[in-house]
Amino acid sequence: MAAATRVIAFHGLGAPTSLIAKEAGVSNGSLFTYFETKADLLNELYVELKTEMASAALDGVPTDKDIRHQMASMWSGWLRWATADQDKRRTLAQLAVSDEITAKSREIGRRAMAGAAKILERSRENGPMSAAPLGLVAGLMNGVADATVEFILQDPANADSHNRAGFEALWRMIV
């Protein structure tokens, strides 16, 4: 999975399985011992990365604090995951828009993100985005997060400041 992540991040979803196998140090045929098709590999990778991202975002969220603190904690965890390994972030972004990802894999990804969705839902319940579809609000959140991540990567000395600014922008938008 690590090899697939690196190859896809650099070469895109069209990268041949032979390149993934080479990066993993196995023969191309061996790769298909674990995955029947390339689509199976991509779906498993999508689920793995989505689950990892959700876990990182929710790890340490203070359930005894108000929703703003919970949302800020989730936001920071998400940004830490997104900036810690650019290959994972890039690969998940490509997989998220791929037609190869099945409805079943997307559902598993949604379930992995259910805790994050609940926090986002509670955050917006009385704000201007309360009637908007949750998917739209999540998409807007992704956009703010992507911009914030780019600033953190370009200016890591001010990562905390960029994190706070991105969160404040998101919070004002949804609350």
Neighbours of 90 (CB within 10 A): 17
CB 34 within 8 A of CB 81: no
- What's the pLDDT score for residue 28? 87
Mean pLDDT, residues 56-60 taken together: 97
Q: What is the CATH number of the domain that holds 125?
A: 1.10.357.10
- What's the pLDDT score for residue 131? 95
What is the Cα–Cα distance from 111 to 133, expressed in whole angstroms?
A: 17
Instruction: Look at the chain and report how many structural domains it folds into.
Output: 1
CB 78 within 8 A of CB 136: no
Neighbours of 30 (CB within 10 A): 11
pLDDT tens digit string along 113-146?
Answer: 999 999 999 999 999 999 999 999 999 999 999 9
CA-CA-CA-CA torsion sign (6, 59, 51, 66): negative
- What's the pLDDT score for residue 78? 97
pLDDT tens digit string along 63-81?
Answer: 999 999 999 999 999 999 9
- Phi and psi at 158, nearest 5°, equal -115, 30
| Domain of residue 44, residue span | 2-174
pLDDT tens digit string along 28-44?
Answer: 888 898 999 999 999 99
CA–CA distances in Å: residue 80 to residues 11, 75, 99, 110 = 24, 9, 28, 20
CA-CA-CA-CA torsion sign (170, 56, 9, 17): negative
Model's pTM, two decimal places? Answer: 0.93
Mean pLDDT, residues 109-116 taken together: 96
CB 52 within 8 A of CB 58: no
Helical H segments across 113-158, by residue range: 114-124, 134-154
